[in-house]
Structure 1
Amino acid sequence: MQTPEITAYLKTYCGWSAGVRAILAKYNLSYTEKDIIQNPAFRWEMETKSGQPLSPCVEVNGKMLADVSGEEVEKYLIDNNIVQVSDATTDVPTNAPCATEQHESEVKLRL
């Protein structure tokens, strides 16, 4: 298998983004992370490439997966023979938003 070229458009703090990171780590895949919160130019780039504003978005070998969960990324990678199925577990959910408590703590930190 060839090493895939992966760019992930993620948020700094986001359950969905954490799930994508967990899947890429599960398969030990290297990738370029573009934090759309820290750098508005990355958000613009993501929206231009994906045609929509929702994240996470993951580009794999030129194919844009828009508004995806970690589970959806994993399915794409397996279905396209980029990785083999793994029974390894992740330390975070791969198909869940942030807990309400996490969002509240982020808001408090920024105030």
Structure 2
Amino acid sequence: MRNYQLPIQNGCIRHSSLFTLQFKIPSLVIRHFSMKAIAGYLRSLFDRKFVFTGLKTALFVGTILFTINHGGALLRGEMDRERWMSGVLTYLMPYCVNVHGQYIARRRL
């Protein structure tokens, strides 16, 4: 297997004389994260405006993911402490992602 190194110059990748790939990084990706923005997001995790939708999403998506990831172990009785902690995170992550989406959408208004 060959390892190709592509030279990058001025936002362009030159692979050969046949083609050049140009790219731009969106300004949203480069945006500076401030402690104020992070603190605002952490407060939004408990904001009444966001909690109901976040919980509905967590219950629906979390249940699907829990069934996929841990359903077999639950039916076989193989759920140990580590799996239960993973199961809690399985429900927590969709909640956090949903609230983050609501928080960002509200900030842009």
Judging by fraction of residues, say which structure has more helix. Answer: 2
- Fold match, TM over 0.5? no
* Shorter-chain TM band: under 0.3
Larger radius of gyration: 2
Normalising by structure 2, we get a TM-score of: 0.23
Q: Using CA pairs below 8 Å that are at least 6 residues apart, which structure has the higher relative contact order?
A: 1
